[in-house]
Amino acid sequence: MVPRLALLIRSPACLLSLLGVALMLPALLWGPGFTHSHQYNLLWTAHFGREMAVGHLYERWLPDSFEGLGSPTFYFYPPFAYWIGGAFCAIGFSVAMAVNLTGLALLVPSGLAMHHWLAARGTRPLLGAALYMAAPYHLYDIYVRGALAEAAAFIWLPLIALAVDRLPTRRGMMLLAIAYAGLLLSHLPLAMLTGLFLIAPMIGRRLWQRDPVLLSGTVAGAFAFGLAAFYLIPALTLQSHVSTAMLWGQDYRATDWSIWTSSFELFPCLTLGLILLAWPAARSFWGIVAILTALLSIRLVPFVWDVPLLDKVQFPWRAFCIAEFAAITALMASRPRAPLLAAAGVMLLFPYLFGGLLTAAFLRQPVAQDRIARIAPDAPEYLPRGFDLSRVRADNHWTDLTPWRALPRGDTIIVNHAGPMTLGHAAFPIWQVTRDGRPVASSGPLLRFDAAPGLYRVERVRLWQEAWGAVISLLAAALMVALLMGQRAISHLSKFPSYSPSSHRLDRRVSTRRDRSRQSGGDI
């Protein structure tokens, strides 16, 4: 019994879990504390917790937001991180502790995914996984930015790389579909950056090596978008009904940020540190990806962020997620010299100190949890189209809703006098005003209609985007299950000497290439 316990304690899963607890200990003891997104983390985690406790796993409308006006937040914001936080809340943890546990539940799996990726390459997996979990921007996302959705992306990057490396096998294709769908459901800007700066270069390298991966990679991408369609279709087609102008305002465009701006104190040293870590492997694929994405993160590669689609990423330094992953992958596959490691350590010391000081200050700063729960200051980009955005405060993006506090709330309203009627209810296509079961024409930004005396109801309708998105996701999931079951049937048949399917030969060829890759440090 004792040897088994000792073996369990020394296992990578246990060691990385202990490291995760150590890294999250300040938050677990004194947090979650003040962060750039603390009010949203508290509000959204509480919402998911309440809904999941009564069996609603994905309620996109937040009825309490904006002092009860409501908000369609999760028609647009990806739900993955808040499914985790909501689950903790639903089983009895406080909202604050659920936020802390979400950070831990995102941090440890990211290390396990990195361990799996590096173990497949044979390049010091435990050390690399620990460095990945403790990487400066990774911790900065959790402790300073409070960006739980972006922190979730760290889980999927190693799995995506592992999947692309295993193409064109069926397992590689399925893993890529699931991992990229997970990234789409975690963070859309990083999903786009990962597609451009990680998946495309990896597949391009495989094609250069004349590996037949284009078809399997394309099919995996189609499956990924299909699995995430229940979220993507509403998110991409309903944006005209909310105040998306707030998403692209001043300081929310990638071109507004550069190494010269006053808000960039943290990132030049982080960039130099990552470049120094990757420099011994600068001629390898992973060294090139690490150096390029580190430079992209501070806009030192010209013209890239001027591309209209990339400018929607908002912040170029989101690419640090990919840069840290690639730099650690390159470092683990190389033999760095002591002077370079020392120089990298000096450069990275400043981001750690800067992030640590901010974290200490944020943990000491009081958070008005009761007030946040009472007025529910949701993100202003989810205010209804046409809302007076001058009411949004510049310092914290909370919205002054004083003029509308007296409006009637609720889904049932009795009107005693004829005339125009405005409800304290945000307009969105899922809501329809009815009288005696018949629709009444209404407009926004708050539900407004011409009323006669009588009983009016605000009823919810199902949009085609929700229906079609759900159908596509179910079909994609069903087809993937069928393909996996087919693979299992083939594996059983392959036990017979007379049966030798082509997929078995492909698996053997790819595994041979991977063995060669391990012997040469993972880069060909």
524 has a pLDDT exceeding 60: no
Where is the domain boundary, 421, 436, 460?
460
182 has a pLDDT exceeding 90: yes
Q: What six digits make up the tokens of 49?
A: 């917790």
Contact 290, 277 (CB under 8 A): yes
Q: Please enumerate in sequence order all residues whose Cβ is within 8 A of that of 20, keeping only pairs 6 or more positions apart, or say none.
A: 104, 107, 108, 111, 133
286 within domain boundaries = yes
Residue 506 to residue 501: CA distance in whole angstroms = 9
Burial class (CB in 10 A: 0-12, 13-18, 19+), 322: buried
Same domain for 339 and 441? no
Element (H, E) at 275: helix 267-278
Q: What six digits make up the tokens of 20?
A: 């995760």
Residue 433 to residue 437: CA distance in whole angstroms = 9
Burial class (CB in 10 A: 0-12, 13-18, 19+), 196: middle
Q: How far is CA 43 from CA 52, 100, 402, in A?
A: 14, 14, 20
Name the percent of the chain lying above pLDDT 90: 78
Same domain for 12 and 110? yes
Q: How far is CA 184 from CA 192, 234, 298, in A?
A: 9, 13, 24
- Grade residue 513 by pLDDT with cuts at 50, 70 and 90: very low
Same domain for 357 and 453? no
Geometric angle at alpha carbon 377, from 44 and 144, rounded to 5°? 65
Where is the domain boundary, 308, 331, 364?
364
Q: Which residues form the domain of 420? A: 407-460
Where is the domain boundary, 460, 476, 491?
460
| Per-residue model confidence (pLDDT) at position 336 | 84
Same domain for 32 and 178? yes
Burial class (CB in 10 A: 0-12, 13-18, 19+), 368: middle
496 within domain boundaries = no
120 within domain boundaries = yes
- Grade residue 332 by pLDDT with cuts at 50, 70 and 90: very high
Contact 367, 396 (CB under 8 A): no
437 within domain boundaries = yes
511 has a pLDDT exceeding 60: no
| pTM of the complete model | 0.91
Same domain for 53 and 107? yes
| Per-residue model confidence (pLDDT) at position 263 | 55
Contact 174, 480 (CB under 8 A): yes
Neighbours of 459 (CB within 10 A): 14
503 within domain boundaries = no
| Per-residue model confidence (pLDDT) at position 2 | 61
Contact 346, 362 (CB under 8 A): no
Q: Measured on CA atoms in the order 181, 186, 192, 195, is the torsion positive or negative?
A: negative
Where do the H-state alpha helices sit in 92-211?
95-121, 125-133, 136-143, 148-166, 170-184, 188-194, 200-208
Residue 35 to residue 27: CA distance in whole angstroms = 11
Same domain for 124 and 222? yes
User: Could you give phi then psi for residue 394, rounded to 5 degrees?
Assistant: -75, -30
Beta bridge partners of 443: 448
Same domain for 359 and 418? no
Same domain for 331 and 448? no
Residue 310 to residue 149: CA distance in whole angstroms = 19
Same domain for 10 and 108? yes
C-alpha 42 chain-centroid distance: 17
Neighbours of 165 (CB within 10 A): 21
| Per-residue model confidence (pLDDT) at position 211 | 94
395 within domain boundaries = no
SS3 at position 413: strand
- Grade residue 395 by pLDDT with cuts at 50, 70 and 90: confident
Same domain for 353 and 430? no
Name the percent of the chain lying above pLDDT 70: 90
171 within domain boundaries = yes
502 within domain boundaries = no
Per DSSP, the residues of 76-125 read TS--HHHHHHHHHHHTT--HHHHHHHHHHHHHHHHHHHHHHHHHHHTS-H
Mean pLDDT value of segment 324-341: 94
Same domain for 350 and 231? yes
Cα-Cα-Cα-Cα torsion 301, 306, 309, 313, nearest 10 degrees, comes to 60
Report the number of distinct structural domains present in the chain.
Answer: 2
425 has a pLDDT exceeding 60: yes
Per DSSP, the residues of 285-309 read HHHHHHHHHHHHHTT-STTGGGSHH
Geometric angle at alpha carbon 236, from 231 and 240, rounded to 5°? 130
Mean pLDDT value of segment 25-36: 93
431 has a pLDDT exceeding 80: yes
| Per-residue model confidence (pLDDT) at position 485 | 83
| Per-residue model confidence (pLDDT) at position 200 | 97
Same domain for 453 and 318? no
Segment 442-467, tens digit of pLDDT? 999 999 999 999 999 999 999 999 99
| Per-residue model confidence (pLDDT) at position 225 | 98
Mean pLDDT value of segment 104-132: 97
In which residue are the tokens 């010391």 written?
A: 349
Segment 218-272, tens digit of pLDDT? 999 999 999 999 999 999 999 999 999 888 777 788 888 877 765 556 788 999 9
